[in-house]
Structure 1
Amino acid sequence: METSEMNRKAARVLEEWDPFSVGEDQYETEITDVVAQLHLLDHPSDLAKQIQMIYEFSFDKWIPLEKCVDISYKLLGFKYEAKSII
């Protein structure tokens, strides 16, 4: 999997996540920020904390860390899939 494909898959998962039920098309900035963090971080907890902070900063609402951890595992799965060499 190429990096661009990983980015598309990650963005799609984040769009569908819709943690505040405001509509899938309301998270463009947050998705961009989370995908950038995905490139930098390799640990689910670290990525989850960043996801939590990014969304909280934008919406002034808190997401339980457990929900962010769940999504971080999915995103990191795409990252490791993109890194694998077959």
Structure 2
Amino acid sequence: MDTREMNRRAMRILEEWDPFAIGTDLYDTEIVGVVGALQVLDDPSDLAKKIQSIYEFSFEKWIPLERCVEISYKLLALKFEAKCII
């Protein structure tokens, strides 16, 4: 799996995640930010905090860190799968 494919899969995971229950098609900007953070972060806690920050900045609403950690583990599993296949 190359980086582009990993990014596409990460975007699909994030598109399905609807942390504010407002509809899955309203998070495009945040998804791009999280995928960018995924490129440089390998620690689930660091990525979770970044996810929390990105969504909070855009929506001025707070997501519990535990929910961000859940999604960060999914994204990092995808990232490490991509690294192992390359």
Normalising by structure 1, report the TM-score.
Answer: 0.96
Structure 1: how far apart are the matches of 2:40 and 2:64?
22
Structure 2: how far apart are the matches of 1:79 and 1:72?
10
1:44 aligns with 2:44: yes
CA offset digits 1:56-85 (Å, max 9, x no partner): 000000000000000000000111011114
Structure 2: how far apart are the matches of 1:60 and 1:27?
13
Structure 1: how far apart are the matches of 2:8 and 2:18?
16
Correspondence 1:1-86 to 2 at 5 A: 1-85=1-85
Instruction: Count the aligned residue pairs.
Output: 86
Structure 2: any 5+ residue segments left out of the alignment?
none
Structure 1: any 5+ residue segments left out of the alignment?
none
* Moved segments of 4+, more than 2 Å: none
CA RMSD after TM alignment = 0.9
Q: What one-letter code is carried by the residue in structure 2 that aligns with 1:8?
A: R
State, as a whole percentage, how many aligned pairs show the same letter: 70
